[in-house]
């Protein structure tokens, strides 16, 4: 089951990256939908490990995604799912085992029908749409996207882990909102990176970041990080506002969303302190 968790993590992330690469609206939506389903699988398998009191982490193998055509990575996803089927006998929950098998069967079938296309997500062109950005603005945008795409992936894993190990409904509601919000940001930044030809897989998150002993201190640090992220968004918005109003408005939008994240984390901190534990 621990190995199945790792492999589900890998295939989920690879499918998400594939969705960023596709320039076809239909294929991108199919891949995005399947990545969401695979992440739910990841959560259900994790839930079983928690119930069985099995220790685990979110370590995984590197995920090679640099391809010239979409069919290459799609075939790799299909192959991964086929290999994972060998682990299904270790899933004791019959309903879960049946759900995984039937989902994977359909995913493999549907992926095999997707049309191939040339992938430009690794071209390194560093241009976004038809916007004419200065080299300074381009550098600032590039750095921001790499840093923030990792940060959002990191937050997904952290809050998902905290939620999996918490029995507090109020905290779990907040953790789920923060996971969902980070998914939106990660998908937005990933699609931008692909369009700029600089797509990359976020690095592995170290276990010390999500296997949190002091939740109160973690929330305090998280609030500080959200405030710092707001500043980064503001700086980037200021850097591109004269050259690309569309981008400036987008990063203002992200900046303002961070306000609510901070409020949620402050509420979680107050609640945690009042309860004394998760």
pLDDT in tens, the chain (278 residues): 999 999 999 999 999 999 999 999 999 999 999 999 999 999 999 999 999 999 999 999 999 999 999 999 999 999 999 999 999 999 999 999 999 999 999 999 999 999 999 999 999 999 998 888 888 889 989 988 999 999 999 999 999 999 999 999 999 999 999 999 999 999 999 999 999 999 999 999 999 999 988 888 889 888 888 888 778 778 777 777 667 888 888 888 988 898 999 999 999 999 988 876 54
Domain boundaries, the chain: 1-119, 122-278
**pLDDT of amino acid 15:** 98
**117 vs 26: CA distance, rounded Å:** 12
**pLDDT of amino acid 16:** 98
Secondary structure in 3-state letters for 33-44: HHHHHHHHHHHH
**pLDDT of amino acid 129:** 87
Please state which architecture CATH assigns to domain 1-119.
Up-down Bundle (1.20)
Under a CB-based contact definition with an 8 Å cutoff, are residues 199 and 145 in contact? no
pTM above 0.85, yes or no: yes
**131 vs 253: CA distance, rounded Å:** 19
> Alpha helix (H) ranges present in 134-168?
135-164
Helix axes 70-84, 94-111, angle to 10 degrees: 160
Record: fold of 122-278: Ferritin (1.20.1260)
Tokens of 237: 């918005």
Domain 1-119 shares a fold with domain 122-278: yes
């Amino acid at each position: 089951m621990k190995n199945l968790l790792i492999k589900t993590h890998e295939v989920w992330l690879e499918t998400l990256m594939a969705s960023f690469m596709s320039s076809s609206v239909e294929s991108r939506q199919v891949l995005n939908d399947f990545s969401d389903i695979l992440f739910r699988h990841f959560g259900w398998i994790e839930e079983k490990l928690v119930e069985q009191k099995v220790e685990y982490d979110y370590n995984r193998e590197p995920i090679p995604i640099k391809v010239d055509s979409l069919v290459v990575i799609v075939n790799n996803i299909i192959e991964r799912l086929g290999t994972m089927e060998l682990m299904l006998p270790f899933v004791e929950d019959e309903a879960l085992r049946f759900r995984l098998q039937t989902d994977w069967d359909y995913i493999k079938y549907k992926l095999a029908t997707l049309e191939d296309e040339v992938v430009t997500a690794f071209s390194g062109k560093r241009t976004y749409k038809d916007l004419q950005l200065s080299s300074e603005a381009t550098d600032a945008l590039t750095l921001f996207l790499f840093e923030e795409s990792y940060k959002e992936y990191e937050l997904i894993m952290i809050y998902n882990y905290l939620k999996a190990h918490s029995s507090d409904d109020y905290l779990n509601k907040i953790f789920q909102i923060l996971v969902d919000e980070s998914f939106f940001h990660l998908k937005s930044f990933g699609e931008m990176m692909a369009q700029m030809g600089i797509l990359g897989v976020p690095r592995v998150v170290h276990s010390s970041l999500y296997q949190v002993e002091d939740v109160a201190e973690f929330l305090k640090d998280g609030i500080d990080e959200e405030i710092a992220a707001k500043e980064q968004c503001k700086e980037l918005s200021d850097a591109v506002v004269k050259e690309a109003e569309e981008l400036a408005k987008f990063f203002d939008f992200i900046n303002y969303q961070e306000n609510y994240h901070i409020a949620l984390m402050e509420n979680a901190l107050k609640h945690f302190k009042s309860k004394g534990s998760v």
